[in-house]
Structure 1
Amino acid sequence: MAIIIGVDVGGSHVSSAAVDSESFKIVSDTYFCGPVDCMASKEIILQKWAEIINETIDVIEKNQMISENETIGISFSMPGPFQYESGIAMFKGNNKFEALFNVSVSDELLKYIKNKNVNFRFLNDASCFGVGSTLKQISGSAHEKVIAITLGTGFGATFLDDKLPITQGLNVPNNGCLWDKPFENDIADNYFSTRWFLKEYENASGEIATDGVKEIAGLENHSTAKIFDNFADNLTSFLSPYIINFDADLLVIGGNIAKSYKLFLTKLEENFKSRDIDLTISIVDETEQTSILGSSYLYNDVFWERIKDELPNF
């Protein structure tokens, strides 16, 4: 396939773009993004996803990027819990897309896609982000052992060895996930997500931030500086054992919280250095586009053969 459509499904949005399968770059004028109410009905969620995907398909067809009878490969960067091999959503008890629980996205979404000659493939959103970030590495400076995390409404993570997401083994956590792993008296997702920042800010100031981490970061006062320092300390303590065990040489950070990296990156680097952890840290601003690129790699034949029988169900 010369052209692949990559789709990034977020908790509050969906984005879609055509990717050139040879250069693995997003094709100009094919990127579209729109809001999605993750608590809406099954029909509305699927219609919103299809609406954005159909915009990309319109541009592809209008510019004759595919032949008339060519199958369009559509690859999804999809949050869990999800059965990635079968395409069945397992969202339940996580305050997002619960109307899709036990729904075959492959079957139901097709009803709303304008071109029925399509093929769907799915991969965890954190894994897609990780794969995309490795594809964007500068030639000659590639890292083989990579941990990629996304910091936003949730805490995503993936462990990659030579671009391949690793989900099982002695040197990675179960399912290659970190969000559900214990930290302090809770799980990691409640420490490395927007929720933690909002709670900490309210405790420190008595006020409620209505514009998320962006608003907190913009204040740049002593209280917010302390919040970001505590965040860096927590992230160091949590990640260090996993970095050492996996022998990672690169940590990639994306997500909306990563946009405030100037408030925590230096502290994070100092913390790792003080623990004798030799690690490069890379901040990725364009998380959605990077995830789209990573998802499109599912249609790379060699990569697909390596990963298709090991797609996680979580």
Structure 2
Amino acid sequence: MNKEYALGLDIGGTHITVAVIAINEMRVLDFSVHKESFDSNLPADEILDIWEKAIRTSWKNSGIGNLIGLAVCVPGPFDYTNGICWIKDQAKYEHFYSLNIRELIRERLNLSNDLPIVFDNDANCFGKGEFFKNVENSSKKLMAVTLGTGLGASFIDNGKAIDSGTKVPADGELYNIPFKTGIAEDYVSARGLLSGYKAASGLEISNSLELFCLAKTGDVMAIKVLEEMGEDLAEIVIPWLKSFGADSFIIGGKIANASAYFLPSFQEKIKIAGIEVTVLVSADNEIAALLGATSLLCKM
């Protein structure tokens, strides 16, 4: 069997990670992994410069010539079929609203119009990637969330993302479901943690990493905010764990690094609700996302 290769792109609120994937084996070429961090509120051209650098560096380092396509996981709101960004008023990618990302990438890299460039939700990519990483998942229903600048979710049944029907929320999304005095993402996300810490301590901090570092030093307020986020996350997902009939619940995203502080309170609420589900924290979120995105090209 001839080996086929594709470029996988994981675009988040503060970074882009790119790698070349051997499609036949669903394996990332380790030496091709390249990451760049940036401020997603920079002008579009400046961010595209960074994306182009990351893509060209990864492709060059891989030593691979021909690709069968590019697969991109990116947060929404986004028109994944047509490649158009509709992110607005989310403190990220403000200058990308209504732009056709597919055509911008194609133009930047001078790619043929015949080369597929496909897109999917970052949480869907993460969930599908976790499915492909573990052969034992082949007969299971997985529910996955990504905790970062936003709250992403995916419902995976036999490797397929489920985003309609009565067993999952509308469009398979959790971030916008009503919760407390707002929506779920107001509480379970980086901004939720920062606002929670300010409300508890009166102090402003810059990002979730700073909160995590405070928790590690024993800051009582930081620990409390993370514990409360675990409780909120459980309250948000419990109805969908039940209706979807999930066998496994997988947590990814940058905030997953602080799981030691929020996982116990999350699991306690799950236990009280009488739900039996395997709860896992992903060890390599970005690799899973890259594999999940590239799986889209397997169908083409």
Normalised by the length of structure 1, the TM-score is 0.88
Counterpart of 1:181? 177
1:72 CA drift (Å): 3.8
| Identity fraction in percent | 28
Counterpart of 2:34? 32
1:166 CA drift (Å): 0.8
Counterpart of 2:17? 15
Distance 2:98 2:232 in 1: 35
1:237 pairs with one of 215, 235, 238: 235
Matches within 5 A, 1:2-81: 2-60=4-62, 63=63, 65-66=64-65, 70-81=66-77
Query: In the alignment, is the contact (CA less than 8 A) between 1:154 and 1:192 conserved in 2?
Result: yes
Query: In the alignment, is the contact (CA less than 8 A) between 2:131 and 2:137 conserved in 1?
Result: no
Q: Which moved more, 1:179-188 or 1:97-106?
A: 97-106
**CA shift digits 1:224-248 (9 cap, x unpaired):** 3322222222112111111111111
Distance 1:71 1:286 in 2: 24
Counterpart of 1:155? 151
Q: Structure 1 residues 135, 233: CA separation in 2 closer, same or farther (over 3 Å shift)?
A: same
Distance 1:229 1:45 in 2: 35
Matches within 5 A, 1:108-127: 108-113=104-109, 116=112, 118-127=115-124
The DSSP-based 3-state class of the residue aligned with 1:150 is strand
Matches within 5 A, 1:132-281: 132-137=129-134, 139-140=135-136, 142=138, 144-212=140-208, 213-281=211-279
Query: In the alignment, is the contact (CA less than 8 A) between 2:5 and 2:67 conserved in 1?
Result: no
Q: Which moved more, 1:27-36 or 1:120-129?
A: 27-36
1:73 CA drift (Å): 0.9
1:36 CA drift (Å): 2.6
1:22 CA drift (Å): 1.8
Query: In the alignment, is the contact (CA less than 8 A) between 1:152 and 1:256 conserved in 2?
Result: yes
1:267 CA drift (Å): 2.4
Matches within 5 A, 1:87-126: 87-113=83-109, 116=112, 118-126=115-123
Matched, 1:128 2:149: no
Distance 1:119 1:299 in 2: 8
1:185 CA drift (Å): 1.0
**CA shift digits 1:7-45 (9 cap, x unpaired):** 000111111001111221210210011123211222222
Q: Please, which runs of 5 or more residues in structure 2 have no aligned partner? A: none
The DSSP-based 3-state class of the residue aligned with 1:76 is strand
Tell me the number of residue pairs that the alignment of Structure 1 and Structure 2 aligns.
295
The DSSP-based 3-state class of the residue aligned with 2:82 is coil
Distance 2:230 2:40 in 1: 29
**CA shift digits 1:94-124 (9 cap, x unpaired):** 2221222221111122221155574201111
Query: In the alignment, is the contact (CA less than 8 A) between 1:91 and 1:101 conserved in 2?
Result: yes
Q: Which moved more, 1:5-14 or 1:47-56?
A: 47-56
2:293 pairs with one of 285, 289, 295: 295
**CA shift digits 1:29-76 (9 cap, x unpaired):** 10011123211222222222111111112123xx3x33xxx4441100
Normalised by the length of structure 2, the TM-score is 0.92
Query: In the alignment, is the contact (CA less than 8 A) between 2:145 and 2:153 conserved in 1?
Result: yes
Distance 1:210 1:229 in 2: 19
RMSD between aligned residues:
1.8
Q: Write the letter of the residue equivalent to 2:263.
A: L
**CA shift digits 1:68-101 (9 cap, x unpaired):** xx44411000111111111111122222212222
**CA shift digits 1:207-233 (9 cap, x unpaired):** 222352322332324333322222222
The DSSP-based 3-state class of the residue aligned with 2:167 is coil
The DSSP-based 3-state class of the residue aligned with 1:22 is helix
Distance 1:141 1:112 in 2: 38
